[in-house]
Structures are given as structure tokens and as C-alpha cells.
Amino acid sequence: MGQRNLLEFFDNPHPGRNYEIVHIAPEFTSVCPKTGQPDFGTVIVRYIADRKCVELKSLKMYLQNYRQCGIFYEDITNVLLDDLVGVLEPRWIEIVTKWRPRGGLRSIIRAQQGKRPAD
């Protein structure tokens, strides 16, 4: 499964300010553990950093690690959340996965942690 140790970070250049960071990976791929068929989706990472920000190349390599991984939509969304929380310790974070339709159904999964600071 995913390897949290692939995720790198850098110091938040503005730790005294609440600002939203959004990263979108429109070509995420994993495998359905039930059918063995590939799943294609978009991963959206939205967070308000505390002391650390995720380094983008490492995030890309981390996400690519799931290409051959058999995992359900609900599980991958929560694993991504857990791994990013474990590395970044953000003030607030939300992971949204949007999956291409299969069999006439389209799925969107959201998971978040922390209390989003007021705007």
C-alpha cells in the first residue's frame, strides 16, 4: 500500500496566517480489489498548514505508488488523509476523491480532519 515515508515537506513560510493550499492530481490510478480493473480518479488535497507544507514532487511520487494497489475508493481516501496528517500535522485538511463512472455510477468521497479556521 502507500508509503508515507515518500512524503517530504518544507517549513511553512507563513505559519502565522491561515491560508488554503489546494493540490489537484487529475490522473490518479489504483485498482479495484474486487474486479482487478483499474480505477481512474482525481485526488484533491485541500489544507491549511501549520508548520509544514507538502513538497509536490514527493506528493506526486507518493500518489503514483498506488497505481498497482488494490484498494476501495473509501479506503484510499482515508489512507491519503491519515498519511498526510501524519506527516504534515495541518490545522485542517480535506481529501476529496472523484472517480470516473463505472457501470453507470460515479463516486465522490470526502474525508477531513481538524476544525477549519474561520475565514
Residues 6+ apart with CB under 8 A from 68: 31
What does the alpha-carbon distance between residue 41 and residue 25 come to, in Å, rounded to a whole number? Answer: 8
Q: Does domain 4-13+22-114 have CATH number 3.30.1130.10?
A: yes
* pLDDT digits 0-9 by tens, 27-80: 999 999 999 999 999 999 999 999 999 999 999 999 999 999 999 999 999 999
Report pTM. Answer: 0.94
Whether 39 is catalytic: yes
Residues 111 and 78 sit within 8 Å (Cβ to Cβ): yes
* pLDDT digits 0-9 by tens, 73-116: 999 999 999 999 999 999 999 999 999 998 899 999 999 999 88
Query: Domain segments of the chain: what residues?
Result: 4-13+22-114
pLDDT of residue 118: 79
Catalytic option among 32, 69, 75, 82: 32
Catalytic option among 11, 39, 50, 75: 39
